[in-house]
Amino acid sequence: MLVQTEQLQALGVEPDRIYIDRGFSGTTRTNRSGLDQALAAVWDGSVFTVTKFDRFARNMAEANEILTDLRGRGVLFGLGASVYDWDDPFGRLFLQTLAMVAEFEANLNHLRTREGMAIAKRKGKLRGKQPKLPESAQRSIRRRYADGEGSLADLAEEYTVGRSTIHRVIHRSPAPGAAPHEAP
């Protein structure tokens, strides 16, 4: 974020006119309040500036929606030090090409991530979210609950987990290879 902020300031964007979304990734625009604030802060004759195309739109549809909205409000689009007019056929072609490349890159990243996860899973290095309690503790909880030796609240307090965790342990079948239990 700091690099982008510095780049925008070097392009002449005032610090109080820089809007940032922190902690967001992916291809959707949901809950990007920084982008929404930036889009709301431009007016007729101003330039909406970004450092990289994929920072504001990650697919063709989103780019088209935002750029069409900006054009309708008389706002130009600045990419780095260059300014593009959505009404100009060459500017539109260039920006649509950038949108297409951004969407392609996002799709490639998703594909690579899925491939990497599949390889890690085959190697046994991707096991998903690990249970909060070891299998031995889960067996003990199931046995004790079935024998009436403790309530959900008592067992949760004893094992320092939430009641919902105890509930899942009791009502979930045991891990493969573990002895099955009967529901109370």
Task: Give, to the nearest 10 degrees, the angle between helix 152-159 and helix 163-171.
Answer: 110
The pLDDT value recorded for residue 48 is 94
Tens-digit pLDDT profile for residues 72-124: 999 999 999 999 988 899 999 999 999 999 899 989 999 999 999 999 989 98
Least confident of 15-29, 35-49, 141-155, 158-172: 15-29
Tens-digit pLDDT profile for residues 165-180: 999 999 886 655 555 5
Beta bridge partners of 48: 77
Q: Is the pLDDT of residue 28 over 70?
A: no
Contacts of residue 64, defined as CB under 8 A and 6 or more positions apart, other chains included, come to 96, 99
Beta bridge partners of 76: 47
pTM of the predicted protein model: 0.60
DSSP state of 12: T
Q: Is the pLDDT of residue 141 over 60?
A: yes
Rounded CA-CA distance 104/29 in Å is 17
Side by side, the strands of the sheet bearing 76-79 are 47-50, 76-79, 82-84
| Percent of the chain at pLDDT exceeding 90 | 46
